[in-house]
Structure 1
Amino acid sequence: MLGVQNLLTYALGALLIILLPGPSSLFTLSVAARLGVRAGYRAAAGMFLGETLLMVATAAGLASLLQANELVFAVVKYAGAGYLTWIAVGMIRAAWAMWRRRDDDTAKAATATATGTADATPPPNGRLFRRSLVITVLNPKAILFFLSFFVQFVDPGYAYPGLSFALLAVVYQAISIAYVTVLIFSGTYLASQFRRRRKLSAGLTTGAGALFLGFAAKLATTGN
């Protein structure tokens, strides 16, 4: 179909890959847990757009540029690592504030720091979207991954490989949307638990911040 080989095998492989935790999906989950379903979908939209841009860049040959030019790869890599570190520090600071403060409203305001707001008012519609987008696109390894994964399922003799990449991208994003929807609604359930258990909320927020630091370290130390 459109030059794609073993589409079912590809879909199963994509599902397994999507299920692996990453900074974008973790950010979306944390946003949904703090700010609700709508905010979760705003963050998810940024992730979907970022992934789509990476897939388009892969098809356009950017992967070859990153492989050939170490400077470009390093700039994107360290920018991404720095941004993830900044997000992680915000989460850990929010958790520390929640741990120290007993008033629930004040704790909620502190929690918002993790998603870029300093008070309890809802963030601007575009802020969570932009943060999620930046987290997703500042990962040069993702472009190389899409190239190495997609090419295995494209018929080299097909005359229109762009259509093959497009079909693979649509299937990948359909699976990703279903998975992220589960994450978002799981996050709203967690939010109801957090409201009753401030220490649990602080502990899990700290854990999320630590994971982001781990993602940043992994990205900063990886090679091309």
Structure 2
Amino acid sequence: MPALAITDLWAFVIAVIVFLAIPGPGTFALLTGTSKGGVRGGYATLAGLVLGDQVLMWLAVAGVAALLKAHPAVFHAVQYAGAAYLVWIGIGLLRAKEGAGTGFIPMQPGHWFRQGFLITVLNPKAIVFYMAFFPLFIDPARDPGLATFAVMALLIAFITLLYCTGIIFIGDALARRLRDNSRFGNWMQRAAGVFLIGFGIRLGTQ
């Protein structure tokens, strides 16, 4: 883009899509919010994920990644908090009563928003990732300025919205088909719990 310091816009867009396609706790949170709260719950979760992502991106731009690298204790404190939160959610799914994971459970959208936001913002590695990711598409001979980073952040949010909208509607359709199959729903709930516990342990031990 001539007015900005972005070197290859299409490569940037493709890279964002590829990273979105890699399953992670955010994807799981989105599917959980959709399965239990319908499309409304899915979009509430998505709003939390996007807001958390924007917070991390702008913290990265502000140079917080350098601070975290210079103070490992701060980095690990946030890392362990995020890992503990994922494990706590996973244990909650494993301890849920039979049938609690099937069908649509009335939940306030704010619950899903908060969960999506915390899952995203409590992962300090994302800050370091953005610090490494942004320079790949910025011309070092030009001053990027805040406008360049703002466009990149908005593009990531827009692409995330489009991509996750597909996940929300596919997840909603699947949940409607499976809501009467309590045995399968209970099995999926426990599998999801194990996944989150494992992911949390991995995050906390890396």
Q: TM-score range by the shorter chain?
A: over 0.9
202-211 vs 159-168, which moves further: 159-168
Aligned equivalents of 1:211 and 1:72: distance in 2? 26
- Hey, what does 1:204 align to over in structure 2? 188
Residue correspondence of structure 1 range 104-115 to structure 2 within 5 A: 107=99, 110-111=100-101
Q: Deviations over 1:166-216 (max 9, x none)?
A: 222122121111111111111211211222211111111112112211220
CA drift of 1:12 comes to: 0.8
> Residue 157 of structure 1: SS of its match in structure 2?
coil
8 Å CA contact 1:154–1:165 kept in 2: the answer is no
Aligned equivalents of 1:124 and 1:34: distance in 2? 11
Residue correspondence of structure 1 range 98-177 to structure 2 within 5 A: 98=98, 107=99, 110-111=100-101, 120=105, 122-177=106-161
Query: Which one-letter code corresponds to 2:194 in the other structure?
Result: A
What percent identity do the matched residue pairs reach? 37
8 Å CA contact 1:23–1:212 kept in 2: the answer is yes
- Hey, what does 2:166 align to over in structure 1? 182
Residue correspondence of structure 1 range 1-224 to structure 2 within 5 A: 1=1, 2-94=4-96, 97-98=97-98, 107=99, 110-111=100-101, 120=105, 122-222=106-206
Q: Deviations over 1:126-169 (max 9, x none)?
A: 22211111111000111111111111111122234322222221
Query: Which one-letter code corresponds to 1:169 in the other structure?
Result: A
Runs of 5+ unmatched residues, structure 1? 99-106, 113-118
8 Å CA contact 2:20–2:160 kept in 1: the answer is yes
The alignment yields a C-alpha RMSD, in angstroms, of 1.6
Alignment length (residue pairs): 203
Aligned equivalents of 1:153 and 1:190: distance in 2? 37
Query: Which one-letter code corresponds to 2:101 in the other structure?
Result: T
Per the normalisation by structure 1, the TM-score is 0.86
Query: Which one-letter code corresponds to 1:90 in the other structure?
Result: G
Per the normalisation by structure 2, the TM-score is 0.93
Runs of 5+ unmatched residues, structure 2? none
> Residue 111 of structure 1: SS of its match in structure 2?
coil
